[in-house]
């Protein structure tokens, strides 16, 4: 079974620039999550989708972060403009269970973002 | 919102010894508690999970115990091996969307 695919693997940008991350979940997984993992901390949920609908985006800084999952499969997360504190690993995860379960999350390898 | 605290932040054990990592949570409505293992530079992987209707679950050398009254749960690894060295995260679900809140992680080092 193919895993959760993410790209790019690494990204270095200057503050105030924009950046986009891409995620392709495991085939058939309806629920998709974006997490932010700052060095030395546990993952923090940014946004959760079920198919192409947003289930929870309460922790997404909407003034600079946006995410979409237009066809209910792959997803993009964008930051515009980036701040120094956005330096982190951005993890995408998917689950075979419906939203509201949050069980059996399968994570991608993440995109490591460095904002200079 | 949910607050998950994890202890210790670092743990070193000799190969063959047992390791215990403890987490507490704040939301009494939480009913799902997974543990993830993250090796250096790799993705977090689910190693075991427990629901609130059971007190203990085992899978070979790992086990998780849950005390709902005290709102804490623990990961137990027996007969530790060098390949157990990693960061371990606990989590608990909460909120209307049952989102997972993760602990801050425990760096486990198994010394040969």
Condensed to tens digits (0 to 9), the pLDDT of residues B37-96 reads 999 989 999 999 999 888 999 999 999 999 999 999 999 999 999 999 999 999 999 877
Nearest to A31 by CA among A111, A110, A104: A104
Pairing mode, if any, of strands B56-59 and B62-67? antiparallel
Question: What is the distance between the terminal CA atoms of chain A, rounded to a whole angstrom?
Answer: 37
Task: Give the per-residue pLDDT at A97.
Answer: 77
Residue A1 in this model has a pLDDT that exceeds 70: no
Quickly list DSSP for B14-49.
ETTS-EEEEEEE--TT--EEEEEEE-TTS--EEEEE
- Average pLDDT of span A31-52: 92
pLDDT at A98: 72
CB contact under 8 A, B103 and A55: no
Backbone torsions φ then ψ of B83, nearest 5 degrees: -75, -5
What is the average pLDDT across A48-54? 89
Contact list in B for residue A36 (CB cut-off 8 A) is none
**Residues A42, B91: C-beta atoms closer than 8 Å:** yes
Pairwise CB contact (< 8 Å): B100 & A100:
no
Shortest alpha-carbon distance between residue A15 and chain B (Å): 24
From A41, A43, A103, residue closest to B32, measured CB to CB: A103
| Interface size, chain A vs chain B, as Cβ–Cβ contacts under 8 Å | 58
Residue A102 to residue B32, Cβ atoms within 8 A: yes
């Amino acid at each position: 079974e193919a895993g959760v695919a993410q790209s790019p693997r690494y990204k270095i940008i200057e503050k105030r620039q924009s950046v986009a991350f891409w995620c392709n979940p495991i085939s058939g997984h309806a629920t998709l999550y974006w997490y932010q993992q700052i060095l030395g901390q546990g993952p923090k949920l940014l946004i959760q989708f079920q198919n192409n609908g947003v289930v929870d985006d309460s922790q997404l800084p909407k003034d600079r972060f946006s995410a979409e999952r237009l066809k209910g499969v792959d997803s993009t997360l964008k930051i515009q403009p980036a701040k120094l504190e956005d330096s982190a690993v951005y993890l995408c995860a998917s689950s075979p269970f419906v939203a509201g379960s949050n069980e059996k999350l399968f994570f991608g390898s993440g995109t490591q973002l460095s904002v200079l | 919102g949910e607050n998950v605290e994890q202890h210790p932040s670092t743990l070193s054990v000799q190969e063959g010894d047992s390791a215990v990592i403890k987490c507490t949570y704040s939301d009494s409505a939480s009913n799902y508690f997974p543990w993830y293992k993250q090796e250096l530079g790799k993705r977090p992987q689910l190693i075991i999970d427990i629901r609130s209707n059971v007190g203990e679950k085992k899978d070979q050398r790992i086990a998780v115990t849950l005390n709902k009254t005290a709102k804490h749960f623990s990961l137990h690894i027996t007969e530790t091996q060098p390949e157990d060295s990693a960061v371990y995260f606990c989590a608990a679900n909460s909120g209307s969307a049952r989102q997972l809140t993760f602990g801050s992680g425990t760096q486990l080092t198994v010394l040969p």
